[in-house]
A = this chain, B = another copy of it.
Amino acid sequence: MRVEEREDPRIVEPTDAVIRLSAACVCGSDLWPYRGIAQVDGPAPMGHEYVGIVEEVGGDVRTVRPGQFVVGSFFASDNTCENCRAGYQSSCVHRVGIGGLGAQAQYLRVPLADGTLVATPEPPPDDLVPGLLAASDVLGTGWFAAVAAEVGPGRTVAVVGDGAVGLLGVLAAKHLGAERIIAMSRHADRQKLALGYGATDIVTERGDDGVGRIKDLTGGLGAHCVIEAVGTQESMMQAIHSTRPGGHVGYVGVAHDVALPGLELFYSHVHLHGGPAPVRRFLPELIDLIVERRIDPGKVFDLTLPLEQAAEGYKAMDERRAIKVLLQP
């Protein structure tokens, strides 16, 4: 991981915008290639979470204009195709991955700007920037997981994973009215943040022991809703086994080397839904909640570094010294 000078991005398509980043950050999914688990063929730009000021727009852009503060997400989407209109903008038929463009930078070209970017009512004060940056991915992803898990009033929710997404899944579950929220975490700092976001119980055990504890807390049945925010075989099975028959698993951990055993899934009777979060679906609502200071997702950033020290940011997250690292361009 190194920081290099690259040419400033320019408008390529008339539907593009170029933004000057106000803040960037490192995602848990950035650690997959960092750790060598996801294949990388050579030097590649990194980063897909971003907020910033619009510098320039292409000739066809209608809904955002230079000077606006905007929030995007990790897939650019037209927001007009049938998949987008169904609420699955991250499966937009014209989607473009932002990761390949590299949002850990000073400037970013955002394709399909009208469909992708959502402007705040006015440029936000500095203390709201981390929260808005969180909306770009980890909050939107935790929120989608909670919605996919059908969290609602009266429900008991378990959250597998205590990274930023899991912690913001706790926040989402609280906001969506969950009665009881069980955070699975072995780290004191993360437990504390989970409790601050609305967790009612902490389970420190993992795997079968963790499942046993969830069963103990739910009359032997399992949780109604389980948020899976890791993406390993163990975490997926922990989530499925922690869910009661007829309950819902919302999974957003990028599922590396996972194979779900069919017969076990069959007899579990759970609903399974997830995938790359359609963050764009939730952005208008999330921006409102942040700007109105009703939620404070920015607390997941517990280390702030200048962009030049991005390598140290990756290292700190890899070693779990930081929950999430904010990079200042």
Contacts and interface: CB of A to CB of B under 8 A. Distances in A.
Copy tally for this chain in the complex stands at 2
Contacts of A208: none
B256 A91 contact: no
A272 B271 contact: yes
B236 A262 contact: yes
A176 interface: no
A130 B220 CA distance: 39
A303 B256 CA distance: 48
A19 to B, nearest CB: 27
A246 B259 CA distance: 21
A83 interface: yes
Contacts of A260: 259-260, 262, 265
Interface in A188-232: 219-221, 231
A69 B209 CA distance: 47
A96 interface: no
A260 B262 CA distance: 7
Interface residues of A, number: 40
A167 to B, nearest CB: 21
Contact of A266 (B251, B259, B265): B251
**Which of A91, A233, A257: most chain B Cβ within 10 A?**
A91
A238 interface: no
A154 interface: no
A12 interface: no
Nearest to A254: B266
A315 interface: no
Interface in A68-98: 82-83, 86-88, 90-91, 93
A252 to B, nearest CB: 9
A256 to B, nearest CB: 7
Interface stretch (A43-51, A273-281, A283-291, A293-301): A273-281
Given A83-B245, A86-B246, A275-B267, A262 B259 contact: yes
A99 B95 CA distance: 49
Nearest to A247: B86
A251 B269 CA distance: 10
A246 B273 CA distance: 9
Given A261-B259, A271-B272, A83 B246 contact: yes
A223 to B, nearest CB: 13
Going nearest first, the 7 A-B pairs with the smallest beta carbon separation are: A258-B262, A255-B262, A91-B245, A259-B259, A260-B260, A272-B272, A88-B246
